[in-house]
Structures are given as structure tokens and as C-alpha cells.
Chains A and B, each alone.
Chain A
Amino acid sequence: MTDLSPAPRRAYIEVEDLSVQFPTEDGLVRAVDGVTFSIDKGQTIAIVGESGSGKSVTAQAIMGLVNARTADVTGHVWVDGQDIVGMTDDELRKMRGSTMAMIFQDPMSSLHPFYRIGAQLTEAVNVHNKVSKKEARDRAIEMLQKVGIPSPEKRIEDYPHQFSGGMRQRVMIAMALINSPSLLIADEPTTALDVTVQAQIMELILELQQEYNTAVVLITHDLGIVADAADQVAVMYGARVVESGVIDDIFYKPEMPYTLGLLASVPRLNQVRADRLDPIPGNPPSPIRLPSGCVFNPRCVYKDRVEGDLCATERPALLPTDLGHMVRCHMSKEDREAVATIALGTLGRETA
């Protein structure tokens, strides 16, 4: 096993056993439960999952945006050697916007409607740098130019409502990258946009990532975007990472039944496999009542391959199955590979 474990080297971003719990009247909501992954500068990790799987809360915890008064955050988020968890508000404020920045899903509600975008962009510069008004403004115009806003010296005087959805998302990206952060978190950055605009925005993010050598955490539910943009993938289900690895491992050699189900059930643009899709039965779990044992066991069609009721009683660990490829499943490796062939065989895809 030792040869499979990752080298004892610190990646630029290292999320270690991160858990976020919200005590509510209905019970404890485990939004994130022991999430671990790491990512280097210039790399993109995609966190994929359905609504309620905990991917957005993971992103917020990395940014230190989870309110410590209402939530219980444990574990570590190492950004360049500094632990975000346990930082004071002041320390966090220094990190946010300069070392790390975030792009949100809805560009309309993330920009202040009453302020000109110029004011909002220069504020981001002024908070972290001692610069003159002129310099801040020049920097804002330069950034707008870079994200492809035509005649930025004029548009800088405009209000958010004067921009289209795609243009607003460009402004958001300009604001996020104005202090050249080394970590960018993009939480469903294109979900609110049309596909032709989505393609533009994704290309812009990847282009700027190369220019600034940024580490990108991309939160999405769209496997197409993952295939397009990610180097690494962490699949989340029921607040846990159930499978992680490099992109080719996840798409061509998946071993966790949930990943298999996801890949087999999503309709594809480039092929119609059969007239019926092969869906995952049942519904995603509630974060208040996560199933015991493996969170996926009530929907898993392969659980009879595991002896006894291990799947329903004991929580499987996230273990390496191959170099850099981690799987959370009780099945033996032979069984996991066998069910992958069964599940993806209907896809007509090579699994080897």
C-alpha cells in the first residue's frame, strides 16, 4: 500500500479532513463530512455533486465564509502553509481578495446594484494595496480589458444592471482576479448562463488561470464542464468525497458505484446509447438524516456484492485504489472493476 500513497509533500492547497456541521432545530446537518483533497498552483480540481452534496459549503469553508457562530468547522484547510480554519476575521479578510478569491453562480446578486462597477472594482484594489485613485482605476480598466469588456474606460462608469448576464460574470471574474490571487474558487460559475456564453466564460477562466498560474477549485454539477476544464476531480455525495483522482481515472476507470451511476445516467450530446437511460434509483439523501454506513448504500445496486450488511453499518474509508485515485467503497477492487465494466459496458466505453 505504501507505494500507492501520495508523496509526503505539501501541495499548494491542502484540505484535510474538513467537516462542517450546522446545528439546527431539526437536528445536526452534516454539510461536509471529512473532505480531503489537495491541489497545486496552475491546476484545476473540480468538485462534482448534486444539490445538497456539500460541494458549495466546502467552497465556502475554504474561503473562511462559514459563520463560526452558526456552524462547527473542524479539520484543516492549508493554503500555502497557512491554516484557514481557526483564523481570526482580520486574518481572513487579509487573505480574501488577495491570496484567494471566489466567483459566484449568480452575477446579478453578487454585484452591488447601487454602485458603479468601477467603484466596486477599485474597492477590491484599495483594500489590499496602498495605491492612488488613478492607479486603482487604471488597474480596474486593465482588468476589464483583460476579461473582454469592450471600451472598458466607458463601461467602468456603468451600473451592474447595464450589463448582460455574461458581461456581469466577466466583471465578477475581473474583480476576483484583480489582485492576482493564487487560489480561485469558482462556484457554479456558468450555471446561470447560456451555453454559448458559458463556453466564452470557461475559456476566459482557463486562459487567466494560465496567465496567473492560479489554483482553481471548480464547483459544478455538469460533467461536461468537468471534462472540459479539470485536471483532478473529487466526486461528492452525501457530504463526503466518494471518489477522487485525475480526470481520466474518474471518467474512464471509475470504481465507486455512484460515479458509475452518474456517468451511465447522464444524457450525452455525442451519443444516444439506447432509448432508455440507466438512472440511479431513488433520491439523494437529506443531510439531516444521512444513511448509516456508506451514504450511498440505499441507492447502490451492487451492495449485495459485499458480505453481510457492512454497507449499511460501517462507513467505508476513502482508500487509494491506484496512484492518486481514491475510492470510498466496501467492495473489493476486483468487484469494483467488474461492476465498472457492467455499468459502463452499456455505454460501450472501454474501461481498461
Chain B
Amino acid sequence: MALFHRRGLAALALTLALTGSAHAQQKVSIDFWHGLPQPLGGLLEQVVAGFNASQAQYEIKPSFRGSYPETMVSSIAAFRAGNAPHIVQMFEVGTATMMAARGAVKPVHELLAEAGVALDTNDYLPAIRGYYSTTDGKLMSMPFNSSTSIMFYNKEAFRKAGLDPEKAPATWAELRAAAKKIKESGASACAFTSSWPTWTQIEQVGAIHNVGVASKANGFGGTDATLDLTNPLFVRHLTTLVEMAKEGTYRYGGRDGAGDALFASGECAITHASSGARARYLKEVPGGIANIGFAFLPYYSEVTTTPNNTVIGGASFWVMNAGPNKVRAREELTGIAEFFKYISRVDVASKWHIDTGYLPITKSAFEAVKATGYYDKNPGADIPITELLRGTMTANSMGFRLGNFAEIRVAIQEEMERAIQGQQTPAAALEAANKRGNEILRAFERANRS
């Protein structure tokens, strides 16, 4: 018995010694799941590789998990199994879902405070910081790749229609008149289209005109927010789109980014799309950069004379606990904080901005890129940034914090499509979308009651 006991102790000591020495050599490993396909995913992994090479203590292990919704679903499933990644890239519409999951996520402001890492959050572009912060300005997730929607137009088509190719329509009245001219002159097969229907035609329209899509500052004020889609502004706008579709000057391009193809092929003369579509358009639109105009999204001069900033899209990084009641070790949290500090560095953020076309996260990165003369050589590349900085940000243009937002977007899209098909009036469509959206919001509120 005594012999066994001694052997047992010796074995224990040996194991301890082994793990101890292994511990000293091994880096702290941090799992990072992202949802960017190639080539963007490769560029993101280069950023990670840069961080891994910059220090010896931590190693971030990136892995591609499919599209944003797929990444979200798999990280949630992993969390339920107690095996969640440390960092997950989540699209902006998942923000409210993540935020409501107290116990599943580690807010970034807490992480930074605990790790003793300081980040100058005031340097972030306000529209980006606001989207991912609480109402009292505490950062919940780490902004990374952001875009916004802008207007692209085909200069060749403008010229053929007798329009000034250097002057983009600034208001909806001007846009409609230009579209009519394009159609009548046959300058292009289709005058106006759009991608991401709810983002560019509902959410941005609300932000630009300082009208809330939902109460409680678009949901920032609490999960009991209700949608306000029946606001006259949205009725006016959907009526414009339906009328233009009837006149043959607007072509509905399909859901998500499906409409991008219509402008890329040169078929449509004007589009409202993600600023991230720039790279594709430069490559595919006949005539290339010389033929593409970039401009702010239009506004209704009858509604406002001082249009506001647009809101962002894209994704941010969330820090997750391993599983229910499984928190992270201190060194892991410090590693994550160091990584976040690294990606906010001016050189890293500027390179990411130039390589990918996503917005620079910080004002200093924007200034640094501007100083290199990049925007003079690449006309239009600064349009999304200046559009984000336009006017004064209000509660209605800060962003959206609505639970199950992806589902709400689909409901709105479906009702818009029914209106454009002529199955219901614009007012009825928005009424129906409002009702369905509110049911979704109430279900979310109920499931997340604490």
C-alpha cells in the first residue's frame, strides 16, 4: 500500500512537471471563427498571421465557417455544446441577438478593462462605434469590417441619355427624372435597380431622413421596441418604387446582393448597393473606373433639407464564453484584447481598408490613407466615409438594435415584393410588414426575458 502510494505521488509529480514545462513553451491558443469567403477571408487571415508574428505569447487560429448566418448558427451550436470559439465574426444584424445573450458573450469594454488594455474608442468613426455600443457608449463588440450603401451610376448611360455624367442625382425627384430620361432615350436596358432591398431602401432611407424604423431609438433603448414602418416616409418611398417599377424605370434586383449583377453587366444605369461592391464593379462594368460614378444615396427634398449620415453594414468580432457557465481564463482574455488592439493600429486598419474596400475603422486610419493621396488616385473610394460622416448622427441614424433582425428583414422583403408585383398597395405592404415584424420582435422579447 505504502509502495503504491509513493509511486502514485511520483507519477503525479512527473505529470505536473511535464505539463508545467509544456505550458511554458506552448502559446495560448485562441480560436477565431469567421464568415468571409475568398478573397476577403484570405486577407483577414493575413491580418491574423500578422498578429501571430508580432508577439510570441498568443496564437490566434482562424477558421472559415461559411456565410455569416452559417457562422452564427455554428458558433451558437458550439456554445450549447460547451465548445464555443473565443472570437466569432458576426454580421451586424446579429448584434441584438448577441447582446441579449448575457452569459454567452463577454462585452468588449469589460474585456479591455479586465485585461488592462486601453483602446481610444473616440477615434472610431461614430457610425461604426455607435452600432456596436450600448446606449451609454460602452463597446459591446469589436468593429472590424464595415461598409455602407452608396449610389453607383454608369456615366456612359448618362451621356447617352443627355445627362451630365459628372452630376449624380442628389434627390429622389432628380433620380426619377434621370431614370425616365434613360428609359426614354434607350440609353440602357434598365434605368435603376438596388441590392439589399431592406438595407438600402428602408433602413438607409429612415436614417437619412432622421425617421426611426422602430421606436426606442431603433431598438437601442430596449427589447420592447416596436416597428414604425407605417410612417408616411416609408409609404412615400415604397410608393415611389412601385410607381417607378410600373413606369419601367425601376427593376427589382432580388434579395440580398442579387441586384449587384444588374449594374455589373451594364444593364442598369443606376444602383444603390453596398460600398463593398466597388471592387466587383471596377472589374466588371464595361469601361471600368472611367465609366462609374459614385455618389451619396438620394433624399426627398420635400422631407428634409439636411440629410443625415447612412448606417453601416458588415460585421464585428464578438468574444464568447466557452459554454453556459464556462468562462475564459485570464490569459486567453488578455490575448484577445491584444489582438483587438493590434487590428485597431493605424497601419493595420489602413492596409485592410485599402486591400478590401471596407471602411477604415478609425478616423486616424482615414486621415493616414488620405495623406498618402490614395483617394485622389482612386476616385469615389472616400464617398462611403464622407457619407457616414454627413450631418449629425441622431438616435434614428445610429443603427439598429432589433432582435431577430434577419427574420424581420425577410418579412419586409416579402411584403415589398408583393407590392412591387402589384398584389397589394404600398401602404398595405408596410402595414403587413409592420405587423409581422412586431410579432417577431415580441417573440424575441419573450424568449430573452431575464
To the question of whether A and B form a pair in one complex, the answer is: no
